[in-house]
Structure 1
Amino acid sequence: MATTKEDIWKAADELEIAGQAPTLAAVRKALGGGSFTTISEAMKEWRAKRVRESQPPPLVLPESMVEASRQWLAEVWKEAKQAAHNEVESERAALDEVRREMETSTREATELADQMQQEIEALTADHDRLQEELAQARARIAEMDKEASAQAQKLATARERVTDLEKHLEGSVSRTTKLERENAAQRQRLEDAAGQNDELKRQLEAAQQRERSALEQAAELKGKLALLVEQKAASSSKRTRRQNRE
């Protein structure tokens, strides 16, 4: 909620009652903050009001003097001149008081400006520190992005290699021994990469599973091939014996 003129006047009255000078800085501190411009304008009105309240009421000539005899006119005129003089002096004193108040306001404004400058410098220091931390964080993020790109490239290479291995395993049983050596080397590379990235580790485990399946299929194909060879050999042997009998 915005600070009102009445809030500022109340704070100034309370400071004065407590025996403290109601300076702009003191009023601002009592309010817990606020605009310097708003406080300064309100305090000008407050000081002018105090000056008016301290002045005597304007001179009003009593009716008896107006009705007095002419012989007292000179004396009345003298008293009126003296009263006017006193009023002029009172106005001059009031102007001096206003001038002193303005000087006080200027001094207080300078003090408040110094205080606000210190706050601004503290905020600037915090801003610079945060900017430095932000720059360090951005540099770290860039480094992590670079590392992630390298890991992604390694993962893509590993995936391509695993795909090639799977195709070779499916396409030719005669290449099983070679594929086993390549798969062993590939598993070692994938295991090394797994220590750097959890995602790459999961991909490695999936590749290993596919490799085991491929090896099992290769072993199964080798068994079937051996069985076919045995069957073919047995069939050839039978055919030879039959031809010999004939």
Structure 2
Amino acid sequence: MARTGVQYEDVQRAIESLMARGEAPSVQKIREVLGTGSFTTISDHLRDWRQRRAEKRDEPLSQAMPDSLTETLATVWKEAQSLANESLVHYRQEADKQTVEAREAEAQAQRRAEDAEQRLSALSEQLAQVQARLEERVQALATLTNEQEHWQQLQDKLEKRLTLAQEDIAAMERTREVDHERHQQAIQAQESEWKERLAQEEARHEASETRLMKMLDDARLEKSELDKQHRRRQEQLEKRVE
């Protein structure tokens, strides 16, 4: 049964309009003419129209001859009727073929519509899944963005601390260089002082050694003189004893 909306008469007028333009009626063309209606409803009305037309096509043609025509016209009428019957048979075959093709096309269209509905349902499910995954990705991205901002702030703080530490190290290095230079200067001054003191001590030592050597020489001379005196006294004593 056709759904309410587009009526059979509307479809019939659309079919007549198409046939007047020399176009074969189809569901798509009828809908284009009407500008509305579901494909199922139009397909049902088109099927009814084809059935009614097939029933009318099976009615036998009138064999009566007009009374006003002559025998010659009767002969012509019979020949025309024969040709018409032959054409009618051919038309019926073509119409039956078109009907079968139309029904097959309708079935295919119905199957395609069902497939399209199934694909649409599957796509809707996939779309819902994609949207859910997208929302998850968006939330994850927002979390990553917040974490990135946190780590960026931490990195900025660490870079500032590193800069301050480098400045402190540079200042300490400069201080160390100054202290080292002062220490070297102090060492050099101390070394100079020690060298001077050493030179003075060596000079005093040489002077003492000279005095000591002189004293030794004097002592030796005095001892020698005493030895001489002792020998002279010994000789004198020996002479006295004799």
TM range (shorter): 0.3 to 0.5
Which of these two proteins has the greater Rg computed from alpha carbons? 2
TM-score by length of 1: 0.38
TM-score by length of 2: 0.39
Larger RCO (alpha carbons 8 Å, 6+ apart): 1
